[in-house]
């Protein structure tokens, strides 16, 4: 986050910069803190929607969609697991844009 930037504005800026997507940000879905040997990371998931398409990728190699039951087979960084578990399994919601109808 940039100094003085809200979570919502930071998320909008990051999606636009990294994927070329304009997003609408809604409510907080979940939050976790991951502790590691160099400190702690606070993760916050916000409901986010877009109707656009990815136009470029700056720091990512791919954008993919997964049904909640498929997530056990995805390699995730250890810091990501608690937050994504909370969002995908408990709330049955996907972070980011709405899931395509084919995996609802």
The domain of 95 spans 7-103
- pLDDT-derived band at 101 (thresholds 50, 70, 90) equals low
- Looking at every residue in the chain, the average pLDDT score rounds to 81
pLDDT digits (tens, 9 = 90+) for 3-24: 999 999 999 999 999 999 899 9
- Tell me the CA distances in angstroms from 44 to 1, 21, 55, one per residue in order: 12, 19, 25
pTM: 0.71
Query: What is the tally of structural domains in the chain?
Result: 1
The SS3 call for residue 37 is coil
At residue 56, does pLDDT exceed 80?
Answer: yes
Residue 2 lies in a domain: no
CA–CA gap between residue 42 and residue 83 (Å, rounded): 10
- Does 55 fall in a domain? yes
Find the CATH number of the domain harbouring 41: 3.90.79.10
Identify which of 48, 57, 64 has the alpha carbon closest to the alpha carbon of residue 17. 57
Q: 17-49 pLDDT, tens per residue?
A: 999 989 999 988 889 999 999 999 999 988 888
């Amino acid at each position: 986050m940039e100094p003085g930037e809200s979570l919502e504005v930071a998320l909008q800026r990051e999606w636009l910069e990294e994927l070329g997507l304009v997003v609408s940000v809604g409510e907080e879905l979940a939050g976790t803190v991951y502790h590691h040997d160099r400190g702690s990371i606070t993760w916050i998931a916000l409901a986010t929607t877009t109707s656009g398409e990815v136009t470029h990728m700056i720091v990512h190699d791919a954008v993919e969609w997964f049904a909640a039951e498929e997530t056990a087979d995805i390699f995730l960084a250890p810091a990501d697991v608690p937050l994504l578990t909370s969002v995908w399994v408990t709330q049955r919601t996907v972070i980011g844009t709405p899931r395509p109808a084919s995996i609802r």
